[in-house]
Structure 1
């Protein structure tokens, strides 16, 4: 087979250049055409956490109610002494929750805490200033704790072992539960308890369910 002459080779090269330019022009031309399109979208999503919130009517302003008034400042007690007070706890949380009662800051001298019994019930009506109108819930629903001050200090020390059966439903309407606390000094307390002291703090805590 004969080889092309230099003249034919140059001619073929000149022919190839315009052909390449035409081909590239076709590619650019085709790429510049508009394309039909369509979309659909979902509006911006938002997330907001719910809440659990408790207050009581003892005038407290801190989480543990330490600036409020104590339920009892009982002095000059003797065997058989007794007293009763109420406190209303309000839930304003948006989430359903379980509310438990537990104790803290327990102290005693001369074993007085072992000789004072507490009977705590829950119900409706009344409040911190007065138990007038208080009605305990029926049966087990009304029972919260019955035992000594010393016993409460070890039996209910945090939410996990707290006492009470109040289940809030949550929402925008406040829910109120009244607790009545009654103390009684052991009628069989001895001279060993004279001048003794006992102290305990009560905390209500809600956790969403």
Structure 2
């Protein structure tokens, strides 16, 4: 028996509404699933205090008040003199301290015998004003000219002072002697030099 056209149209409309309702329910259901999946019921974490970093320092000073260790002249063959200097480390990291000479010039340098000593043990006393009580070991001996050509930077420097922290002191004694055999060759000559103590970590 034939189905009336009006009933057919109503059936199709009802079916469409059922399908549409099913899609809406499905979308709502999937949204609920996602919300539950991305919002955990319980969470926890742990952390420590804020980390920090700071750099160390290397610092060196001496007790000669930035004055020349020697100002001598006019010198003659055989003349000699000594001065001490106390070098203080003020850095916060371990370092090595070396002695060397720069700006060495002048013909007199070849006639000046230089001895550099580093204080040792209980004898590590003395200052730029007074060498009384100093005792040490020789770390350089030779002419001023050769000092300037062979011991002229940190890499070629001498000495074993190795402070590990601030307020550590090392005393050095420098002695110069004019070659007694220089004779008339010494006349009218001069020499200059800068003594340097450098620390590197």
**Shorter-normalised TM-score: what interval?**
0.7 to 0.9
Task: Give 1:18's match in structure 2, choosing from 21, 24, 38.
Answer: 21
The offset of 1:135, in angstroms, is 2.2
Partner of 2:154: 159
Report if aligned partners of 1:86, 1:131 keep a CA contact under 8 Å in 2: yes
Aligned length: 187
Task: Give 1:84's match in structure 2, choosing from 79, 82, 85.
Answer: 82
The offset of 1:16, in angstroms, is 1.5
The offset of 1:168, in angstroms, is 1.2
Bigger Rg, which one: 2
Runs of 4+ with deviation above 6 angstroms = none
The offset of 1:6, in angstroms, is 5.6
| Unaligned residue ranges in structure 2 (runs of 5+) | 1-7
Q: Please state if 1:37 is matched with 2:33.
A: no
Q: Please state if 1:116 is matched with 2:119.
A: no
Structure in which a larger fraction of residues adopt helix = 2
RMSD (Å), alpha carbons? 1.6
Deviations 1:172-207 (A, max 9, x none): x41000010000000000212112101100111111
| Unaligned residue ranges in structure 1 (runs of 5+) | 60-67, 137-141
Partner of 1:72: 70
Task: Give 1:182's match in structure 2, choosing from 152, 175, 189.
Answer: 175
Bigger shift: residues 142-151 or 179-188: 142-151
TM-score, length of structure 1 as denominator length = 0.84
**Distance (whole Å) between structure 1 residues aligned to residue 160 and residue 9 of structure 2:** 105
